[in-house]
Structure 1
Amino acid sequence: MVNNRRNFIRLTAAGLIHISARPFLAGADEPAESTLLLRQAGDRGHTDLGWLKSFHSFSFGKYYDQRHMGFRSLRVINDDRITPGRGFPTHPHRDMEILSYVMQGALQHRDSTGRGSVIRPGDVQLMTAGTGITHSEYNPSQSEANHFLQIWIQPGMKRVQPKYQQRRIEPAAMKARWATIAAPEQSSAFVTMNQDAHIRVASLANGDRLTHTVRRDRHAWLHVARGEINVNGTRLQTGDAIASSRPSEFNITGKKEAEILLFDLG
């Protein structure tokens, strides 16, 4: 839902809501207003295979909408739920940075590099597909459903050597503050990728506040993984996202216990 008492809001044919707001870092050559884009959860694509229920922020599989092909290098955000004992059989990938972020249950991973692991809440997994990799993902539990986000970032360089990374984030590292879980190579992020993309996460309780400044020549996509927040006077709930490609500032307040992901993109 959108609180329109503080912002002028206009629904576009693309299924995005434009929210006009005064930019934080506008220069003399910038217009008096910047535009934030709101992607509502209910407008996402949806796949239901029985064992898999998935919501797609961008075109994926049988859900195709040329107006929603990605945002800068961010190509996929799939919000996936897998029933106990089921999953994705072995399948190939190539030239993509694929990040898995588990929110509930467990996800068992095996790939052609010889890596096998179980990913749980608090773990970050990044697979660089590069020249080619095959992998499978299953819910190893016989009783608990799995809920995870699968995120694809288009790489800055193709045909690189496939690579697997997995790190754990302690809850305190993201409590009411940003934790950079993925960033370009040579950075100090938990995992590194072949792209000018910084992925940050935070958990917010009611009343917690965070900000993010979208600087010139940067682009930001903020996704609500769960809970409820307020951004610049607009209420965002689970699955909603807000984005900006102009100098601006996100002023974020937790409303219900929330977990959010921020994509800071070149």
Structure 2
Amino acid sequence: MEFNATKAIVHNEGCDLHYWYQGTGPLITFVPGGNGHGRQYYPIMAALSDRYTCVTFDRRQMSASQVEASKMRRLSPPQQARDIRAVIRAIGFDKSIVFGSSSGGIFAFQFALDFPEMVDHLISHEAPTLTLLPDASALFESYIHLLDLYDTGGLQAASAEFGKSLIGYDDEGVPKTTPPGPENPANFWRYEFPMLVGFSPNLWRVRQNGTSVGLMRGVRSRDASYARATYEQEKILGCLRMDVPGHHQGFEVETGEFLPCFLDMLDQLEKKRG
């Protein structure tokens, strides 16, 4: 199907969250990562909307979901989880399949912690829970270096250095991703990145709650830290994990190859539960 979503707004905790939904059937909520914008999910929403109701949104302080300059705040993963809840309720659902990629996967885990009764299945795609990795100390120091670089060299210097860790985007034949709005990188580095450096949701509690979880690692991401993190998450959660086509945003630019794996994971999660 073509992307022909309905746009709506729900107000939550001082922010007008702009969201887009399309399709019929069980709900899948697509949670953006650090780039903040929902349109990266338009291709997969269009492909799934013949069998699912699909929704995505611009996260607070990103793209269309802006707040007044005087009300800009540091990122709070629990607040991001409450924003996900607000979007799901606004469409009229009590629960949802939740897909989050990158830091969107972190927010999806936090949503599962805070609102487990609202999770049908959770699929996390390369959530960068870097504190779980064997080389976490070195990674933490490298991220402190990035913050220092942001303070001394500015947004472009920090973004350029950070971009070196994003693997697979320059592979031959891979389409380019949709860039975020011009305000998003500035908001990410000032308000979000410092809070994400050492944050990791309590995955042991997610497992204790019996939440249905699947993990995805993009094959083009190779040995990137966010890809390796999925192996450590699997050890804690004892859940299904898959290697899937594409890089960190493969669901957007290689949707046709990614989609069968997504549907297979949902099918396996259903069978495992039932």
TM-score of Structure 1 vs Structure 2, range by shorter chain: 0.3 to 0.5
When normalised by structure 2's length, the TM-score is: 0.32
Structure ID, larger Rg? 1
- Structure with greater strand percent: 1
- Structure with greater helix percent: 2
When normalised by structure 1's length, the TM-score is: 0.32
